[in-house]
Structure 1
Amino acid sequence: MNLFEGLERNAMYNGQKPAILFNERVHTYAEFNREANRIANALISFGIKKGDKVAIMMKNSDQFPFIYYGILKAGGVVVPVNFRLTSNEVSYVLHDSDSMIVFADDDLSETIKKAAEGNDKVRLQVMVGATKKEDQILLSEFRSSSTGNPEIGVLESHDAEILYTSGTTGLPKGVVLDHHRILHVAFSTIMTMKIDPQDHLLHIAPLFHSAQLNLFMVTGTMLGCTQVVHQEFNTVQALTDIDRYKISLFFAVPTMYNFLLQVPNRDQYDLSSVTRCGYGAAPMPVALLQQSMAMFGTEQFYNMCGLTEGGPGGVFLLPEEHKTKLGASGRASHLTHARVVDENGKDIQPGEVGEFIIRSETIMKEYYKKPEETKKALKNGWLYTGDLATIDGDGYITLVDRKKDMIISGGENVYSTEVEQVLYKHPDILEVAVIGIPHEVWGETVAAVFVPKPGKEINLEGLQQFCRLELAGYKIPRVLYEMDQLPRNASGKVLKYRLREEYQGIAVK
């Protein structure tokens, strides 16, 4: 079995069922499959072969799933790219992934053009829209007229995705997932959240994220669900379409729930069709969770605590468990084993803190072209997450710290080392450390603690302007603190936990 067999089956047996709804456009499963085939056959004609990498840098739209499945049908490996990244950041991903073709929204054509400069591996840039730069081609020109299913012979063992996630070094690493692993992500999600073909899904989180992509779009397509796609998160539009399309399964990051609660007339929307809600990607405060339950009129909330290297996969806190284990991350999801171990790999006792590790059919195959990093993360079939956690006597795991130095702002992961590497290029900075501090809306925001060079002054606006050349907007520091010197240990390493302790009580609005 492979990831697109479900699409082809639904096209055959449920061809007239609405599959993808976007901006008043409705595509049936038969149309969905034909559009994916047009992409696949064009890729094959261009010369794409099994295992070749093809990048997608797009906002959510109806074209995203068409292109995603088209790449898979051609035997290619999909490389989703965060559309918020700068050209320098995109350049690294394209080069590291060995991507041969890039599909991108036409408003990103300049970013893609700059990112591909000097990269001989990128042979074609396909713009989704009506405009293009020199040496680029429009999707409308690229599509094949052939709508038949290609006969490539894609197996479960063939690679399907490379998802980029930064490590503690700040350099992005490509998480390789084959069809087998992503299929098992879908199987686990179906069993845990009881998804069936009658469900109506709403995609408001970015589809380049592993959660929205693998947990929900892939699963929904496999089952033949009706899927409503929003290009960006808009509170009123989200509430409107939940009511209009009778969405039954809703997933969002905690920040999105918070924004929905701020809509003054939200009571006028009928949200009763929603029977299950999922949240993840960031911690959800208990008060926010309780308010969200009241807004949707259901206690059927699932805490989905996973990581990209897991497929995503990890632990779930089921709705009934919220009543007795509220605040815990959960227990291992279906098809997954989870443990918390000490530095010797031995299970810790309740009350102790150790490293959260998982073993599953869903965990990554490897970090692409990074054997040493792979060896550190995968040991005897277990994925060592780097997250610190506790476990109680009932086996419920609670994460007490995220991967070292990582910041989660509005559901987006920001790695402090990556930001620091840019800040250290500033001519007036002597030393700098980046930490996350509380934010009333985003959960956390990026703060830079710095030591200026003698006689130099640095202001926040100027520093932000400097960062915009190399960092996506959500990674840029929003708060600036000046110190005479950074706290360090005997080996010279900055003690970031001390900085977090000092500034943790300062909540930013």
Structure 2
Amino acid sequence: MTAMTPEEAVRHVVTTNPTFALHEVDVRGVTFKAFKNIPPNVPGLLAAGWAQHGDGQLEYLAYEDESQTYAEFTSGVNKLAHAMRDELGLGQGDRVAVAMRNYPDLLMSVLAISSIGGIVVFLNAWWTPEELDYALRDSEAKVVFADGPRMERLQPLKEALGLTLVSVRDAKGHGAFDIDALIEGAKAGTAPEVTIDTDDDFAIMYSSGTTGSPKGVVQTHRGAVNAVFSWLMQSVIAPLIDPPEPDAPAALRPSALVVTPLFHVTATHPLFLLSLPAGAKITLMRKWDAAEAVRLMRDNTITRFLGVPTQSAELMQAARAMGETLPAMDYLGAGGAKRPGAQVAQLAETFPNAGVATGWGMTETNALGIGMIGDDYVARPESAGKLHPPVQELRMLDDNGNDVALGELGEITVKSPANMRCYLNKPDATAETLQDGWLRTGDLGVLDADGYVTILDRKKNIIIRGGENIACLDVEGALHRHPDVLEAAAFSVPDARLGEAVGAAVQLKEGALISRDEMARFLEAHIAKFKIPAHLWIQHGALIRGATDKIDRRAICASCLENEEAKV
């Protein structure tokens, strides 16, 4: 077979393969390119994957010593969906929250909620009661599926918010209902008969923004399934661009290890949701451990790894120590944060059979965005890659919304049916971000003549700590709760392991003193542990301000990094 260029391969697939045929659609008054023949909604992905999973007979989901075939998983989803309608009284349009670690129950709950036309509200499993209270009030979710630690944090909120709590795993006996009992007592058979429009809301995922409170990103069914089939198409065009040798062995069944939280798009969309039509097996880790990840990948012929850059670096270190090259792995991706360029060649050397990959996407785009793999990435380790075809469009804009020239700094702005519908209850923020179907991402970069994007900066005051987005104002708001703090500024501090760590400078009342550990203990009641500053600078004079009398974070950060004496 003669190799095609990427552009030729895309044209060939969309014109000859009905699965990836395109058409134009009108969504809320905006015209988009979209896939024509894909499932209309997320529950449709479950049915679309039946044949790819051996008519349901192949093992689909593994967690520690538990295992389910695709048929068993589908049956569990259908039973839970019926129980939600019959026992919990839930129906179309109801918002139902999930708050737990990466359990199989989470995957089952997501699809069951979707199958009755409900809207999944993903709650960050690391949130404090204060943060959970905000998201539940904002989303108006009244039913929450929760495991033990989350159930404990939700108990103080139950009466005030009128919550119905459904216990999962180690929360058994502490909720009004139990997920296992709901499934066991439900009717078997097919999914409930519900008409779900492709433009109905699928999920609300919370993403840190430039305001102190997280934003609820409203994703539609159309957005999620178009993102999934954009990634699925990559596996179809790859052999057209790089044809296998005639005597090459048959490709292994795709199998993914999930190591990042399922309340983030990095895990839910390009791993879990993609696994359904791709015929891939899913293995969940209870807790990240690099050596255990190597063992799982080696012993279970896992082909796909997608984690934050810190995890791929630790996987590499563990594999080297164990003398493993994980020959079955054909995809080693990074999401959530930029991987240090120096690691790219090292990963390619350590895992010679794997295509080392990078990706950029957002909760607001259903994780769809920019990426590259293999030789392209090794040759351009500082780049984010090219726009994933075929439904996306890209512009690089200045502050006034004008296109910038190639090679000039501009804001990455994307248009596709995968873009969010809105920010929940935030019309002004929605209008600022979504303009005529174009999503202004807040990320600044340059586009070259070959279509590669290099991200250089962020307009948003966001710290990306090991893939977790942390709003500076969120940290500052918690710091200001301390009675001795007059003023606070949060900023990112370079970190060799996590990429960025949280730093903060605070002005204290005259005569007040506090250690970093004391401040950390105070903050634990107000923000999740990953948001607590790892580096804290104390002063009694005013923080540096700019010409408009606003706090100058960059100047404060530079001053702090040069002044170790003020660090506590």
Paired letter, 2:270: L
Which region of structure 1 is more displaced relative to structure 2, 72-81 or 286-295? 286-295
Q: Could you tell me whether the CA contact under 8 Å between 2:80 and 2:186 is conserved in 1?
A: no
SS in 1 for 2:142: strand
Match of 2:126 among 84, 109, 120: 84
Q: 1:59-458 alignment to 2 at 5 Å?
A: 59-120=101-162, 122=163, 124-132=164-172, 136-143=176-183, 144-148=185-189, 149-194=191-236, 198-263=253-318, 266-298=321-353, 300-334=355-389, 335-458=391-514
Give the equivalent residue in structure 2 for 1:497. 554
Which region of structure 1 is more displaced relative to structure 2, 264-273 or 498-507? 498-507
SS in 1 for 2:339: coil
In 2, distance between residues paired with 1:132 and 1:317? 44
Deviation string 1:143-198 (CA, Å, 9 cap, x unpaired) is 34212221112231221111111220121111111111100110111123559992
Which region of structure 1 is more displaced relative to structure 2, 383-392 or 110-119? 110-119
In 1, distance between residues paired with 2:122 and 2:466? 20
| Deviation of the 1:228 alpha carbon | 1.0
Which region of structure 1 is more displaced relative to structure 2, 311-320 or 9-18? 9-18
Any unmatched runs of 5+ in structure 1?
A: none
SS in 2 for 1:99: coil
In 2, distance between residues paired with 1:432 and 1:142? 48
Which region of structure 1 is more displaced relative to structure 2, 187-196 or 412-421? 187-196
Paired letter, 2:60: A
The 1:407/1:264 distance shift into structure 2, 3 A limit, reads same
Paired letter, 1:336: Q
SS in 2 for 1:287: helix
| Deviation of the 1:496 alpha carbon | 0.9
In 2, distance between residues paired with 1:493 and 1:479? 22
| Deviation of the 1:27 alpha carbon | 0.4
SS in 2 for 1:315: strand
Q: Could you tell me whether the CA contact under 8 Å between 1:94 and 1:116 is conserved in 2?
A: no
| Deviation of the 1:318 alpha carbon | 3.3
Paired letter, 1:362: A
Q: Could you tell me whether the CA contact under 8 Å between 2:504 and 2:533 is conserved in 1?
A: yes
Aligned residue pairs, count: 506
The 1:115/1:269 distance shift into structure 2, 3 A limit, reads farther
Give the equivalent residue in structure 2 for 1:7. 46
Match of 1:487 among 538, 544, 551: 544
Identical aligned residues as a percent: 30
In 2, distance between residues paired with 1:501 and 1:282? 22
In 2, distance between residues paired with 1:242 and 1:467? 38
Q: Could you tell me whether the CA contact under 8 Å between 2:423 and 2:430 is conserved in 1?
A: yes
Q: Could you tell me whether the CA contact under 8 Å between 1:130 and 1:138 is conserved in 2?
A: no
Deviation string 1:405-462 (CA, Å, 9 cap, x unpaired) is 2111111111110010111111111211001101121111111111111111121111
Paired letter, 2:47: E
In 2, distance between residues paired with 1:84 and 1:130? 16
Give the equivalent residue in structure 2 for 1:31. 72
- Tell me the TM-score normalised to structure 1 length: 0.94
The 1:190/1:96 distance shift into structure 2, 3 A limit, reads same
Match of 1:18 among 59, 83, 90: 59
SS in 1 for 2:275: helix
Q: Could you tell me whether the CA contact under 8 Å between 1:197 and 1:224 is conserved in 2?
A: no
Q: Could you tell me whether the CA contact under 8 Å between 1:185 and 1:312 is conserved in 2?
A: yes
The 1:428/1:238 distance shift into structure 2, 3 A limit, reads same
In 1, distance between residues paired with 2:562 and 2:345? 23
Which region of structure 1 is more displaced relative to structure 2, 386-395 or 424-433? 386-395
Q: Could you tell me whether the CA contact under 8 Å between 2:207 and 2:217 is conserved in 1?
A: yes
Paired letter, 2:180: S
Paired letter, 1:380: D
Q: Could you tell me whether the CA contact under 8 Å between 1:3 and 1:222 is conserved in 2?
A: no
Which region of structure 1 is more displaced relative to structure 2, 390-399 or 67-76? 390-399
Q: Could you tell me whether the CA contact under 8 Å between 1:205 and 1:232 is conserved in 2?
A: no
In 1, distance between residues paired with 2:93 and 2:511? 55
Q: Could you tell me whether the CA contact under 8 Å between 1:438 and 1:504 is conserved in 2?
A: no
| Deviation of the 1:258 alpha carbon | 2.0
Paired letter, 2:324: Y
Paired letter, 1:7: L
In 2, distance between residues paired with 1:116 and 1:209? 25
| Deviation of the 1:100 alpha carbon | 2.2
In 1, distance between residues paired with 2:42 and 2:483? 50
In 1, distance between residues paired with 2:174 and 2:108? 25
Instruction: Give the RMSD, CA atoms, in angstroms.
Output: 2.1
In 1, distance between residues paired with 2:129 and 2:143? 16
In 1, distance between residues paired with 2:271 and 2:171? 31
Deviation string 1:223-271 (CA, Å, 9 cap, x unpaired) is 2211111122111211011111111121111010122233276443350
| Deviation of the 1:349 alpha carbon | 2.1
In 2, distance between residues paired with 1:438 and 1:210? 24
